[in-house]
Amino acid sequence: DSLALLVRAQNTGIILRRDWGDGIDEKIIYECFEVTLPVSDVMSTKNKLVTSFPGPVIHFPAETFDSKYFQNEFATFLAEMNDEDNDEDSEDEGRRRKSGLPAAHPGETQDPVFITSLLAGIMHGLEGRGENVTRINMRVADDVLLKGLDKTPWRRSALWLAIVLRVAIQTTLLREDPTLQLYKQFMVFLHRFVLSLTLGEKFDSDILFTMQAKMCRRLAKLGDDVAEFL
């Protein structure tokens, strides 16, 4: 059982997994990671950025998570973090000037420290322990386009990049069976399903051709690993 969350205001993705174990040592696995990479990193890289997912991973007893008190406090914390206005830019700039540090790039992404460090630290305090998991490397094709007189950067939406969903699906399928390319097979299935929805609808032929080409390209990459249901 898995639950993926996007804490938009904190630029963080969270994945909660229930590990049933042997029925005795049931535990909850907490994973978190930065969703949108810093502007400075994207602008200083010519090609796609390669990053590893997830970030910190901690497990703690399932009985702790199942308590109503914990669930209420956990949900309240995430809700407040997601509603946080983060109007601290001016204060941050003041601290940077006093410390002699260069000014932050305009439109810089939110540091996910409240989730990746603070909340992770709280989990450690609840009998949490670090968890060794299989991680994935992802090549992120993000963009930063400067617009207007103030050169405010335009960023691709985290939902458009679908980082949280991709990480959740890919890590889940990879841990299910590392020897199979389940994620790539799932993506072919998803492309085929979306393409089937266009039947009977009025779509331009160039759009349909592009959709079909993407699916065929994914099928070709699978080679002999294509599942029978595809």
pTM comes to 0.79
**pLDDT per residue over 189-207, tens digit each?**
998 999 999 888 888 889 9
Strand partners, 59: 29, 129
**pLDDT per residue over 57-91, tens digit each?**
999 999 999 999 999 999 999 999 998 655 454 45
Whole-number Å distance between alpha carbons of 130 and 123: 10
Domain assignments of the chain as residue spans, ordered by start: 2-158
Whole-number Å distance between alpha carbons of 40 and 126: 36
- pLDDT of 43: 77
In angstroms, how far apart are the furthest CA atoms of the chain? 64
The ranges of the chain with pLDDT < 70 are 23, 84-107, 144, 146-161, 230
- pLDDT of 101: 43
- pLDDT of 150: 57
- pLDDT of 70: 94
Q: Where are the alpha helices (DSSP H) in the chain?
A: 39-43, 62-66, 68-83, 89-99, 113, 120-125, 158-161, 163-176, 182-196, 205-222
- pLDDT of 107: 63
- pLDDT of 45: 78
